[in-house]
Amino acid sequence: MSGSLKRRNEMESNSAQVSNAGLSLFKFTPKQLAITSLSMALSIFIYAWFFGLWFSFLLVVMMLVHEMGHVFAYRIKKMESSPPVFVPFLGAFITSPDLESDREKEAFVGYGGPFLGTIGALALFGLWVFLPSHPSVLLLASFFATFMNLFNLTPIRPLDGGRITQIISDQSMYVGALVLIGFTTLTNSPILWLGWVFFLGSAKMEMRLKIRFGIVVQALMLLHILALWYFGASITSNWLAFIIFVTLINLTRYRRYAFLKDMLKHKEELSKETVKEYETALVQIIPELPKALIKTRLKWFVLYVGLLIFALLLMAIQVVIMVQRARIPLGP
| In contact, 148 and 100? CB cutoff 8 Å | no
The CA distance from 71 to 168, in Å, is 23
The CA distance from 8 to 16, in Å, is 12
pLDDT of amino acid 63: 94
Residue 228 clears pLDDT 60, i.e. is over it: yes
Average pLDDT, the chain: 78
Residues 6+ apart with CB under 8 A from 133: none
pLDDT of amino acid 16: 46
pLDDT band at 264 (very low <50, low <70, confident <90, very high): confident
Q: What is the DSSP letter of 188?
A: -
List pLDDT tens digits, range 282-306: 665 445 555 667 888 889 999 999 9
Q: Percent of the chain at pLDDT above 70?
A: 73
List pLDDT tens digits, range 270-283: 787 887 777 776 66
Domain ranges of the chain: 13-168+293-332, 170-291
| In contact, 136 and 328? CB cutoff 8 Å | yes
Q: What is the DSSP letter of 220?
A: H
Return the amino acid letter for 55: F
| In contact, 332 and 137? CB cutoff 8 Å | yes
Report CA Rg, the chain.
22
The residues pairing with 86 across neighbouring beta strands, listed in sequence order, are 92
More confident residue, 277 or 53: 53
Residue 323 clears pLDDT 80, i.e. is over it: yes
pLDDT of amino acid 185: 61
pLDDT of amino acid 229: 74
pLDDT of amino acid 218: 72
Measured between alpha carbons, how far is residue 203 from residues 15, 27, 157, 248, 261 in Å? 38, 36, 9, 19, 20
pLDDT of amino acid 187: 64
Note if the bond before 135 is cis, omega within 30 degrees: no
pLDDT band at 314 (very low <50, low <70, confident <90, very high): very high
Residue 327 clears pLDDT 60, i.e. is over it: no
The CA distance from 264 to 155, in Å, is 33
pLDDT of amino acid 103: 79
List pLDDT tens digits, range 101-156: 677 888 899 999 999 999 999 999 999 999 888 888 999 999 999 999 998 898 88
Residues 6+ apart with CB under 8 A from 206: 282, 283, 284
Q: Could you give the angle at which helices 272-283 and 237-264 cross, rounded to 10 degrees?
A: 140
List pLDDT tens digits, range 183-220: 766 666 666 666 666 666 666 666 777 777 777 777 77
